[in-house]
């Protein structure tokens, strides 16, 4: 993927790939400000003009914006598969293609207008219903609406300090790619359950860190009330992640 036009980008693709989703969106808000400043005449003297023209800068920033979008969306692409499977179980690829394009079109147009980085997950979720031309309260949307907590929890996976738990949840709850691999299938049922329970506790610790802005970040779909003991926490999170 081409990131720049002879000028080193702020972040390499690998760096973007490693960046947590929330930080990624914060970067995008910064990029948005810089891109918007290039939409006008751009006549003012800026230090960056020393090394690149306005067009070069616009192209480079636009490329970076695109890279951020792609990496962000990559983290939700399997989840979007699951959402579409529930929306249209018999729709097939053509239906999936139409739905994904509609969802992405909405996200693409709304993302630059995002007021706060913390609200990005809610924005992506609103597009889930809008792309299906449904309201969140519609009966047809009910199977998908059950996935809302799982959708909102995805952003916290990137913020987890426990790398093993984060990867376990990524593999088991958010991507199908590795599940058939021997290192995953080699785990017995009890072992798999314990891995998930451990990971849920770790995820809960991460979510608690963001408690002040939890309503904005999760569109009020994650409620931590009543989560007092480890078994309850593990049950609640496994329900959100696997059994909704």
Partner 1 sequence: MPSIDSEDAGELRQAIFRSAIAKNHDGVDLKTDEADELRKAIFHSRKAMENRGGIDLQAIVAETAYDYWPHRAAFTRARRRVAKGVEGRPAFKAIGAEERAELVTAIHRTQEGLRGGGIDLETIAREGSRHYWSQRRAADPVRVRQVNAAAIADMALILRRAAREFAPRRERRRLWSSILFDAVAVLIPWLLIPPLLISISQGRVLRPSAMLSLLTFRASFADRNFAIAAFAVLCFGAFLLWVALRKPETRRRISQFGGAATASLLVAVLGTAYVDTNKTSAGLDRLQASLTSRLLLALERSDVAGYLIVPTQADRSIEVETKTLSASMAMLYARTPGTKGEIRVRLEPQSANYWWYVDGREIPKGRLAIGRVAAFENDSITIISGNRTSTFRSALPGLRLPVGSRVAAEIGTDDRIASVIVLPPQPVRLVSQPVTVRPKG
From the list 121-129, 131-139, 217-225, 232-240, the region that binds partner 1 by CB under 8 A is 232-240
Q: Which is nearer to partner 1, 28 or 207 (CB)?
A: 28
- Answer for which of 10, 96, 123, 141 binds partner 1 (CB under 8 A) is 96
Q: What's 141's DSSP letter?
A: G
8, 33, 39, 137: residue in contact with partner 1 (rule CB under 8 A):
39
The region of 120-128, 129-137, 162-170, 220-228 touching partner 1 under the rule CB under 8 A is: 162-170
Among 100, 125, 156, 240, interactor with partner 1 by CB under 8 A: 100
With CA atoms as reference, report the closest residue to 155 among 118, 127, 129, 126.
118
- Calpha distance 194→190 (Å, rounded): 6
Q: What is the chain's length?
A: 244
Binding segment (CB under 8 A) for partner 1, from list 109-117, 129-137, 151-159, 210-218: 109-117
Residue 104, class by beta-carbon neighbours within 10 Å (0-12 exposed, 13-18 middle, 19+ buried)? middle
| Residue 97 binds to partner 1 (criterion: CB under 8 A) | yes
Q: Which is nearer to partner 1, 100 or 221 (CB)?
A: 100
The verdict on 142 binding partner 1 (CB under 8 A) reads: no
- The residue among 36 and 211 lying less far from partner 1, judged by its C-beta, is 36
| Residue 146 contacts residue 115 (beta carbons within 8 Å) | no
C-alpha distances in angstroms, 12 versus 34, 48, 79, 134, 183?
18, 19, 25, 38, 30
């Amino acid at each position: 993927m081409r990131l720049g036009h002879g000028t080193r980008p702020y972040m390499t693709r690998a760096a973007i790939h490693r960046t947590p989703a929330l930080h990624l969106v914060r970067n995008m808000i910064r990029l948005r400000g810089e891109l918007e400043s290039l939409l006008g005449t751009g006549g003012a003297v800026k230090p960056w003009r020393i090394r690149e023209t306005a067009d070069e800068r616009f192209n480079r920033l636009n490329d970076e914006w695109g890279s951020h979008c792609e990496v962000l969306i990559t983290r939700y692409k399997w989840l979007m598969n699951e959402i579409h499977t529930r929306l249209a179980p018999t729709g097939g690829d053509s239906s999936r293609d139409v739905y994904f394009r509609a969802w992405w079109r909405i996200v693409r147009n709304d993302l630059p207008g995002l007021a706060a980085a913390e609200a990005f997950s809610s924005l992506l979720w609103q597009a889930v219903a809008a792309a299906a031309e449904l309201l969140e309260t519609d009966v047809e949307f009910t199977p998908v609406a059950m996935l809302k907590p799982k959708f909102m929890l995805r952003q916290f996976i990137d913020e987890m300090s426990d790398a093993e738990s984060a990867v376990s949840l990524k593999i088991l709850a958010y991507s199908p790619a590795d599940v058939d691999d021997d290192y995953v299938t080699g785990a017995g049922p009890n072992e798999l359950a314990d891995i998930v329970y451990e990971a849920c506790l770790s995820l809960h610790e991460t979510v608690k860190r963001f408690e002040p802005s939890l309503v904005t970040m999760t569109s009020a779909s994650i409620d931590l009330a009543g989560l007092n003991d480890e078994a309850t926490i593990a049950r609640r999170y496994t329900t959100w992640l696997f059994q909704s």
